[in-house]
Homo-oligomer: A and B are copies of this chain.
Amino acid sequence: MKVSIIGATGYAGAELLAILQRHPQVKITHITSESHTGKKISELYPHLYKICDMTLESLNDIEKIGADSDFVFIALPHGHAMDVGKKLENLPVRIIDLGADYRFDDVTVYEKWYKVEHTHKTAQRVYGLAEIYRDKIRNAKIIGNAGCFTTASILALAPVVKNNLVDVDTIIVDAKSGVSGAGRSPKLGNHFPELYDNFKAYNVAHHRHTPEIEQALSDLGGESVTINFTPHLVPMSRGILATCYAKLKADVDEKILDEVFQNFYGNEKFIRLLGRNAYPETKFVRGSNYCDIAWHFDERTRRVIILSAIDNLVKGAAGQAVQNFNIAAGFDESTALDVVPFYP
């Protein structure tokens, strides 16, 4: 199966390359970068030297690339994937977009939060969070891969929202991410001496992953959900931990909680339920496609606190994209993804 990566030089693109090059059914045919056209990817990422020394092309000839690919992965900043998607609309190629352009059922939500006009409103797209939308992903033309914070948050809350265990208007997600989530472009906020031995919140009440979480939870709960989502920056490279709070409905006890999580995720390959009162750590999933989940019942406040951990570049981006690809292409869902987390 021939695949191409549009925008291969960001961290998600490079991670995609690392995963896809070990995929036994995949041949990478094109990788692109506008700012580094003509260079080898290993000049930009020396860790790939002698492993992947492919040359970066421009996406000017995107139709030609599309014609030479069964699947195209897009890892561009938001606002650019919809142009690519439109141009490839009438080709048989299928698309997995790691950005936000194809994540929303209602494009007006996208336009409001991203402040861009959507130029491909009629796209046949689905939301790419495999554990929740696997069936739709199977035959989709365009898959809008779920975001990083979003994946951790939705997977943590889906069981209790779907089973109507919590008051949805009490949901708060307090999330923490490593710095690779902010991309590879140097800026003062990500300059090493500024972040080292430092911790901060950002985009309080306004982060763009908020409506994405709300879309999925509303869909799962069957009612409109509005949440508080607060991202924080951790002085580390990889990983997201989401700490999720919600008020439990009157009759919910610990036993019901345990059952609901077990039933909801019983056979999922990439969900590891650590159980009640356990503590996921981001390093336990680092480099892997796992989402580790645990839950705590606070009898004093009758809140459930759900903790979930993912690697933001794997289950939060490239790994999830390949998981979606495996589903869409009919491969075993864990192909190229069954790696041991990188520890310590």
A residues adjacent to B (C-beta < 8 A): 11, 14, 18, 21-22, 45-52, 169-170, 172, 174, 176, 178-180, 184-188, 190-202, 204-205, 226-228, 230, 232, 234-239, 241, 243, 245, 272, 274, 277, 279-288, 292, 296-298, 300-301, 303, 305, 307, 309, 339-344
Pairs A–B under 8 Å by Cβ, sample size 11: A11-B344, A46-B274, A49-B292, A190-B192, A194-B344, A197-B236, A198-B282, A199-B236, A205-B305, A228-B245, A230-B305
**Contacting pair B340 A51 (CB below 8 A):** yes
Q: Which chain B residue lies CB-closest to A181? A: B193
**Contacting pair A198 B340 (CB below 8 A):** no
Given contacts A46-B284, A186-B186, contact A301 B228 (CB under 8 A): yes
Q: Which chain B residue lies CB-closest to A11? A: B344
Given contacts A190-B186, A192-B191, A226-B300, contact A281 B198 (CB under 8 A): yes
- Bound Cα distance A45, B170 (Å): 35
**Contacting pair B14 A343 (CB below 8 A):** yes
Given contacts A192-B235, A226-B300, A296-B204, contact A343 B47 (CB under 8 A): yes
**Contacting pair B303 A228 (CB below 8 A):** yes
Contact with A272, one of B49, B190, B238, B239 (Cβ below 8 angstroms): B49
- Bound Cα distance A294, B157 (Å): 28
**Contacting pair A243 B232 (CB below 8 A):** yes
In the complex, which residues of chain B have a beta carbon less than 8 angstroms from the beta carbon of A46? 274, 281, 284
Q: Which chain B residue lies CB-closest to A306? A: B204
In the complex, which residues of chain B have a beta carbon less than 8 angstroms from the beta carbon of A228? 245, 298, 301, 303, 305
**Contacting pair A202 B279 (CB below 8 A):** yes
**Contacting pair B243 A340 (CB below 8 A):** no
CB of A257 to closest CB in B, whole Å:
13
In the complex, which residues of chain B have a beta carbon less than 8 angstroms from the beta carbon of A298? 204-205, 228
**Contacting pair B190 A280 (CB below 8 A):** no
In the complex, which residues of chain B have a beta carbon less than 8 angstroms from the beta carbon of A226? 300-301
In the complex, which residues of chain B have a beta carbon less than 8 angstroms from the beta carbon of A274? 46, 49
CB of A145 to closest CB in B, whole Å:
20
Contact with A192, one of B45, B50, B192 (Cβ below 8 angstroms): B192
- Bound Cα distance A50, B273 (Å): 10
CB of A120 to closest CB in B, whole Å:
27
**Contacting pair B184 A245 (CB below 8 A):** no
Contact with A235, one of B45, B236, B301 (Cβ below 8 angstroms): B236
- Bound Cα distance A235, B177 (Å): 12
In the complex, the 3 A-B pairs of residues with the closest C-beta atoms, listed nearest first: A198-B283, A186-B186, A205-B298
New A-B contacts (6) at CB < 8 Å, excluding given A49-B292, A198-B239, A199-B236? A11-B193, A47-B343, A174-B230, A192-B235, A193-B344, A235-B235
In the complex, which residues of chain B have a beta carbon less than 8 angstroms from the beta carbon of A305? 204-205, 228, 230
Given contacts A228-B303, A235-B234, contact A180 B193 (CB under 8 A): yes
